[in-house]
A and B are shown apart, each in its own frame.
Chain A
Amino acid sequence: MNRFSYVRPDAVAAAVRERASDPGARFIAGGTNLLDLMKYDVEAPSRLIDITRLPLRDIQEIDGGLRIGALVPNSDLAYDPRIEERYPLLASAILAGASPQLRNMATTGGNLLQRTRCVYFYDTATPCNKRTPGSGCSAIGGINRQHAILGASEHCIATNPSDMGVALAALRANVRVAGPDGERTIPFSEFHRLPGDEPQRDNNLAADELILSVDLPAEHFAANYTYLKLRERLSYAFALVSVAAALRLEDGKIAEARLALGGVAHKPWRDEEAEELLRGQPAERASFEQAALRILSGARGFGENDFKIELARRAIVRALEQAAAGTPQSQSDKRVQ
């Protein structure tokens, strides 16, 4: 790990000022992603701005929804009674990620800003456009079992590993941020980016902006939802494919549908047309197959990850069946019903 200086501001404005005055500085919250990267010399900040003492630890009621402070730890969020009761999809997705220790440390804001990445990103001996723009992408033609099948570019095919983010995409959350010029709100679908020709940029947050909260809208889909995560082992591994599915049913028909995928793209993947296709349809397999085909219509493999296309298709259908039946995937007993 490189040498750096350390500050611990106690107000948001001071934290933003610190960041704006030093381009080499980084905010640190749970530290579970940033320190991991610093130990591999992938990140080498000149200064760490410890934001853990900022007053961003509350979960508050807003407009029928909830405002989640950026520093609420992942475990506290997943086990908060309001989240368990009203947004079980979010609780389930969080509990599918990382380990209990890491979830105790990881924060809401940090989870969204963990790097979209791959094994080569960590290995400073190999070319990687995300780490060193212009050096090339080692994963194209290399080891790419974990990599993207949707929205990739010739410059980067990495996937965003957040489980929480997949649920937030499905729930259409908003991200509230503060910068030197004040606050703004970014819809979740516009928060993360596709790699395009700037794979070094994972999201649309400016360098000197701080996440204040993630805001959940009122519609929560507590009755018909699931988070289905498929991975190489049953626990403590990143998703090969994950699906957040949520339905509002009226008389056996789908009144509203939400569908987001993890492990398949540079960002949590949502497709409004696929959701639109489900609206008004009977909640049954044939409708789900149609939606799966639609959301995967542009899918493309890179060799080792070709299998993900069919895996994703089946996972989407299964997840929508789980949601429709009101039998969400258990995150402890992993048998897929």
Chain B
Amino acid sequence: MQATETDTRSGNGTGEPSRIPVVLTINGTERRLEVEPWTTLLDLLRERLDLTGSKKGCDHGQCGACTVLVDDRRVNACLTLAVMLDGASVTTVEGLAQDGQLHPVQDAFVEHDAFQCGYCTPGQICSAVGLLKEGRAQSDDEIRELMSGNLCRCGAYVNIVAAVRQVMDGTGAGR
């Protein structure tokens, strides 16, 4: 599904001439965009591309609500400048499901009730997908430590660990 879209929305009224062309592949779709250098990846996703799954909790790298995958690595979108990603591939929570099927981590979060308000959840899920790709966590202690960049105000941590554990062990009830 390689569509190419060109963003045609224009300036932000500052009179700055400094929009810079970048090519980003976002959830599998190549997008040619022009961005001001001060636009963070998080603001680009939420404010211009209507991908509001990634959340802005702190905007300072402290909470993990903005976690997305850049070239398959989990990062904080709030501390990433979009212009610096020219050529990169970005996956947000909206891009995890394939062919109408939830990603196994999404299934596991549902199965384990790994959330309450859901605000931290897109970041938790992207972070867990990153953690599984890294393959460093074995024990529950290691899952907790390697998920520590994602805070949950509702305190759903116990069920989040159980959900990640289930995918890691491949013991999901669904598939």
| A residues apposed to B, CB below 8 Å | 1-6, 8, 28, 30-32, 35-36, 39, 48, 50, 52, 79, 98-102, 104-105, 235-236, 330-333
**Known contacts A36-B79, A101-B67, A101-B75; can you find 14 more A-B pairs with CB under 8 A?**
A4-B37, A4-B38, A6-B18, A32-B79, A48-B81, A50-B83, A79-B136, A100-B149, A101-B127, A101-B149, A104-B73, A236-B149, A331-B145, A332-B141
Residues A3 and B38 in contact in the complex (CB < 8 Å), given A32-B79, A101-B74, A105-B79: yes
Q: A166 → chain B, closest Cβ, in Å?
A: 19
Residues A333 and B79 in contact in the complex (CB < 8 Å), given A3-B14, A39-B59, A104-B73: no
Partner of B75, one of A8, A104, A236: A104
Most A-side CB within 10 Å, residue of B67, B127, B130, B146:
B146
Partner of A6, one of B37, B60, B80, B144: B37
Query: Does B64 count as interface, using CB distance less than 8 angstroms?
Result: yes
Which residue of chain B has the shortest Cβ distance to A5 in the bound complex?
Answer: B18
Query: Does B116 count as interface, using CB distance less than 8 angstroms?
Result: no
Chain A residues, CB < 8 A from B113: none
Chain B residues, CB < 8 A from A3: 14, 16, 18, 36, 38
User: Can you identify 21 A-B contacts, CB atoms within 8 angstroms?
Assistant: A1-B38, A3-B38, A6-B20, A8-B86, A30-B79, A31-B81, A36-B60, A39-B59, A39-B60, A50-B83, A79-B136, A99-B149, A100-B130, A100-B131, A101-B61, A101-B64, A101-B74, A101-B76, A101-B130, A101-B149, A332-B139
Most B-side CB within 10 Å, residue of A5, A6, A28:
A6
Q: Decide: A32 and B61 in contact? CB cutoff 8 A.
A: yes
Chain A residues, CB < 8 A from B145: 235, 331-332
Chain B residues, CB < 8 A from A98: 149
Chain A residues, CB < 8 A from B73: 104
Residues A332 and B142 in contact in the complex (CB < 8 Å), given A36-B61, A100-B130, A102-B149: yes
Q: Main SS of chain A's interface residues? A: loop
Q: A155 → chain B, closest Cβ, in Å?
A: 27
Q: Decide: B76 and A236 in contact? CB cutoff 8 A.
A: no
**9 tightest A-B contacts by CB?**
A99-B149, A235-B148, A6-B37, A332-B145, A332-B142, A236-B148, A332-B141, A333-B141, A101-B149
Query: Does B40 count as interface, using CB distance less than 8 angstroms?
Result: yes
Most A-side CB within 10 Å, residue of B36, B59, B86, B141:
B141
Chain B residues, CB < 8 A from A36: 60-61, 79
| Count of chain A to chain B residue pairs whose CB atoms are closer than 8 Å in the complex | 92
Q: Decide: A28 and B84 in contact? CB cutoff 8 A.
A: yes
Q: Decide: B81 and A35 in contact? CB cutoff 8 A.
A: yes
Which residue of chain A has the shortest Cβ distance to B138 in the bound complex?
Answer: A332
A333 to B84, CA, bound (A): 36
A36 to B67, CA, bound (A): 16
Chain A residues, CB < 8 A from B74: 100-101, 104
Q: Decide: A105 and B76 in contact? CB cutoff 8 A.
A: yes
| Contact code string B129-168 (vs A, CB < 8 Å = 1, else 0) | 0110010100101101111111000000000000000000
Residues A35 and B64 in contact in the complex (CB < 8 Å), given A3-B38, A332-B145: no
A2 to B83, CA, bound (A): 15
A23 to B142, CA, bound (A): 44
Chain B residues, CB < 8 A from A99: 61, 64, 148-150
Chain B residues, CB < 8 A from A39: 59-60
A8 to B21, CA, bound (A): 13
Q: Decide: A105 and B80 in contact? CB cutoff 8 A.
A: yes
A235 to B148, CA, bound (A): 6
Most A-side CB within 10 Å, residue of B61, B64, B83, B146:
B61
Which residue of chain B has the shortest Cβ distance to A37 in the bound complex?
Answer: B60
Partner of B79, one of A31, A48, A330, A332: A31
A31 to B36, CA, bound (A): 16
Q: A24 → chain B, closest Cβ, in Å?
A: 14
Q: B92 → chain A, closest Cβ, in Å?
A: 14
Which residue of chain B has the shortest Cβ distance to A99 in the bound complex?
Answer: B149
Which residue of chain B has the shortest Cβ distance to A96 in the bound complex?
Answer: B145
